[in-house]
Amino acid sequence: MSVSLIILAAGKGTRMNSDLPKVLHPLGSAPLLHHALHAGQSLDPEQIVVVAGHGAAQVEKAARAFDAGIEVVLQAEQLGTGHAVAQAAPLLADAAGDAIVLYGDTPFVRAETLQTMLDARARHAVVVLGFEAADPGRYGRLITSGDTLDRIVEFKDATDEERAITLCNSGVICAEASTLFALVSKLGNDNAAGEYYLTDIIALARAEGLSAGVVICDEAETLGINTRAELSRAEAAFQARMRAEAMENGVTLADPATTYFAMDTVIGRDTTIGPNVVFGPRVTIESGAEIRAFCHLEGCHISRGATVGPFARLRPGAELAEDVHVGNFVEIKNAVLDEGVKVGHLTYLGDAHVGEHTNIGAGTITCNYDGANKHHTEIGPRVFIGSNTMLVAPVTVGRDAMTGSGSVITADVPAEALAVARAKQENKPGLAVRLMERFQKIKADRQKGKQ
């Protein structure tokens, strides 16, 4: 049975008070929109249509970044959730099977819940995701009789008696695509808000003799983001879930409350994460690695047995092979470190490849940027880079070579050679003492002058 997704993401999100469209605000380092897409994608949808309006160009870009096959349709004026769904109709005219409507600002709906809705379609033509609200506030209320859903009434249009109902509408709806669009095409906007309410399709369906039902989920799943305060609470909930999942998967978190995950962080079993570690997007860590305190990682891969930090920064394109050691105050960007490489202290490696078992001395820098272009540094296996070596790229250091401490390497170093590129040392006997006497005298004269 094939399924398509319609993601509503046209709203302005006025209460975010932001130039950024609401659905692009980040949660776990990923736009809210990606969370909804992530849950939906687990159903292996035939087609995904995002309905965009405010900031449509940005929303389209973010949708395509998630999956290039996503289609985006413009809802120029936001005339209501029913009107928004109708915009997707031309793109899904030939869609066989079911369509599920999700909101781009509702990040926590679980894949399992969506599957339960699809299963419930065996019993009902239209399935709505509902929840028992602790504080029903302004949510739409579900009017049921027994196992069937009769209609949904929006808060604005509800009587006091209806407002007393606590079973609320999450907004997620599932029906056969053709049924959904047929119902949506019949919607009117004669209501308190003057909007085309998607929720009115329930009463329309029932009037046509179609059955409608409710799948109930936990209220936490339906949490929508409308304000920055809600976003911060959602972030806390997201982090709590990721921490719990990591520990269940066999990852040790020394101080879970200070580990920050991204939506796509993947960490293998028996890896240990020290306190105050932040994961940006696209980090994968294999089993048995160790990330020590105060590291910031994004866009990188860390292999089995590697150790990183404390105080290390791995930026996009950092690839650490097995048993690599990256120590304190080291920054690595777009660089591949082969097995057993050691970069212990105070180093920047950017746009580089380092061969296996090479040792990079403290204070080494790959000078990769000339002010306009980036250049590559190639370091062979079993090389010893002396402390405070400047590697002015493009440059190659051959296998089993060495560089002298403090060298500025501007020319390629052949395999097995020692390169020394620094001023030669000269010793001047007694000069230190004579100089110091002179400096002390200058100081004393100056102080006398002040009195």
Q: Least distance in Å: CB of 138 to Ca ion?
A: 8
Cβ atoms of 98 and 3 within 8 Å: the answer is yes
* DSSP states along 2-25: -EEEEEEE----GGG--SS-GGGS
Q: Least distance in Å: CB of 58 to Ca ion?
A: 20
Closest CB to ligand UD1 among residues 224, 344: 224
51 binds, among Ca ion, ligand UD1, none (CB under 5 to 8 A by kind): ligand UD1
Q: Least distance in Å: CB of 84 to ligand UD1?
A: 4
Q: Which residue is nearest to Ca ion (CB)?
A: 224
Closest CB to ligand UD1 among residues 12, 438: 12
Closest CB to Ca ion among residues 154, 356: 154
Buried b (16+ CB within 10 A) or exposed e, 382-412: ebebbbbbbbbbebbbbebbbbbebbebeee
Closest CB to ligand UD1 among residues 140, 355: 140
List interacting residues with ligand UD1 (CB under 6 A).
8-11, 51, 53, 75, 78-81, 83-84, 103-105, 139-140, 152, 154, 168-171, 197-199, 224
The C-alpha atoms of residue 318 and residue 321 are separated, in whole angstroms, by: 10
Token pair listed for 332: 């690595």
Closest CB to ligand UD1 among residues 166, 272: 166
Length in residues, the chain: 451
Q: Which residue(s) pair with 15 in the sheet?
A: none
Task: Please state the separation of Cα 371 from the chain's center in Å.
Answer: 30
Token pair listed for 117: 């809705």
Closest CB to ligand UD1 among residues 107, 380: 107
Cβ atoms of 135 and 62 within 8 Å: the answer is no
Residue of 345, 357, 375, 376 marked active site: 345
* DSSP states along 389-407: -EEESSEEE-TT-EE-TT-
Q: Least distance in Å: CB of 356 to ligand UD1?
A: 51
305 binds, among ligand UD1, Ca ion, none (CB under 5 to 8 A by kind): none
Long-range contact set of residues 294-302: C-beta below 8 Å, sequence gap at least 24:
298/29, 298/262, 300/332
Token pair listed for 307: 């150790």
The C-alpha atoms of residue 282 and residue 11 are separated, in whole angstroms, by: 28
Cβ atoms of 376 and 359 within 8 Å: the answer is no
Q: At what angle do helices 32-41 and 111-120 cross, to 10 degrees?
A: 50
* DSSP states along 95-137: --SEEEEEETT-TT--HHHHHHHHHHTTT-SEEEEEEE-SS-T
Torsions phi, psi for 326 (to 5 deg):
-115, 120
The position carrying tokens 């049921």 is 144
79 binds, among Ca ion, ligand UD1, none (CB under 5 to 8 A by kind): ligand UD1
Question: Could you say which residues in the range 219-258 bind Ca ion, by CB under 5 A?
Answer: 224
Q: Least distance in Å: CB of 213 to ligand UD1?
A: 16
Token pair listed for 403: 């560089």
Q: Least distance in Å: CB of 242 to ligand UD1?
A: 24
Told to judge if 325 belongs to the known catalytic residues of this protein, a careful annotator would answer no
Q: Least distance in Å: CB of 226 to Ca ion?
A: 6
Contact flags string 178-217 toward Ca ion, x per CB under 5 A: ----------------------------------------
Q: Coil, strand, or helix at residue 39?
A: helix
407 binds, among ligand UD1, Ca ion, none (CB under 5 to 8 A by kind): none
Q: Least distance in Å: CB of 156 to ligand UD1?
A: 9
The C-alpha atoms of residue 291 and residue 261 are separated, in whole angstroms, by: 13
364 binds, among Ca ion, ligand UD1, none (CB under 5 to 8 A by kind): none
10 binds, among Ca ion, ligand UD1, none (CB under 5 to 8 A by kind): ligand UD1
Closest CB to Ca ion among residues 166, 226: 226
The position carrying tokens 């769904």 is 85
- As annotated, the active-site residues are 345
- Residues in the site for Ca ion, rule: CB under 5 A? 224
